[in-house]
Amino acid sequence: MDNPEVIILGSASGKAETDRSHAAIALRRDKDVWLLDAGEGVTSSMLRHQIDPEQVRSIYITHLHPDHCVGIPMLLQYLHMSGYQGTINIYLPDGALDTFQKFLDQMYLIVGVINPRYYLKPLTEAHQIVSDISLTTHPTRHLQKWEKMELIGLETRAFSFRLTIGEKGVYYSGDIHSIADILPYLKEGDTLILESSHIDPDIILSELPGKGIRQVYLTHASTDMFADLEKLQFRANKFGLNIVVVEDGLKLAL
């Protein structure tokens, strides 16, 4: 059995880019793939980086902004047109399950009519992906300004994810309100995949040194942020913090 790989499939911010897809991360081992978020372009990105979409077993969505989930319909359509007969579990914040199902139905991606057979399921606190890989969810405040919209039925919860792979930890922030959303959950030795669109980069230097974070991968950044983030990389070295600004296709060193 091969060691698991974590691959960045989409690193763009909420704004479309010419050469990057939106938020998506692949966990791959042998012939099985699990996705954390599935933003626009995720299927094309898988093909571009030699990942077979037919190997996707489950998808875990942090929240319902389109740059994190609208790649799902095209992935299902691709698999249907390819004749794939398998199943996929799609985990979402549970307040969105009915609405998202109607969204897919309206695009004629109807369960039992198309293949693959897919199942929308609620995110729970813990998911055992396989025997030695688990995923834990933690709530963030990313959508807190929309909480009043719950009155009209919108799902306003957002989550970050911890992957435990054997004895290794990979923490994916998803989108956050501030770095304080995830600090209580970080553990010494973690690899951190941190979104950089909604936080002050300088906070990274004030909050993360001394936490024992093994490596920080900055994602979800627009191209016009790159110069500042590259300066941050240089400054972080003085604090003993290793930072990488990611691009699509990057394989994380675990």
Whether pLDDT at 231 is above 90: no
Residue extents of the structural domains in the chain: 5-245
**Average pLDDT estimate for 153-165:** 95
pLDDT in tens, 233-253: 888 888 889 999 999 999 997
Question: For residue 212, is it left (φ>0), alpha (ψ between -120 and 50) or beta?
Answer: left
CATH class of 5-245: alpha beta
The DSSP string of 6-36 is EEEEE---SS--SS--SSEEEEEETTEEEEE
pTM for this prediction: 0.96
Whether pLDDT at 105 is above 70: yes
Angle between helices 72-81 and 97-106 (to 10 degrees): 50
Helix (H, G, I), strand (E, B) or coil at 3: coil
Cα–Cα dist 33/58, whole Å:
7
Mean pLDDT check: name the lowest of 11-20, 159-168, 197-206: 197-206
Mean pLDDT check: name the lowest of 75-84, 86-95, 221-230: 221-230
| Residues 10, 39, 180, 254, Cα dihedral to 10° | -40
The DSSP string of 100-134 is HHHHHHHTT--BTTBSSEEEEEE--SEEEEETTEE
Q: What is the mean pLDDT of the chain?
A: 94
Neighbours of 33 (CB within 10 A): 22
Query: What band does 1 get if pLDDT is binned at 50, 70 and 90?
Result: low
Query: What band does 161 get if pLDDT is binned at 50, 70 and 90?
Result: very high
User: Position 235: which residue type?
Assistant: R
Q: Among 178, 147, 174, 219, which residue's Cα sits nearest to residue 69?
A: 174
**Average pLDDT estimate for 60-82:** 98
Whether pLDDT at 202 is above 90: no
Report the share of the chain in percent with pLDDT over 70: 100
139 in Cβ contact with 125 (< 8 Å): no
Cα–Cα dist 95/232, whole Å:
38
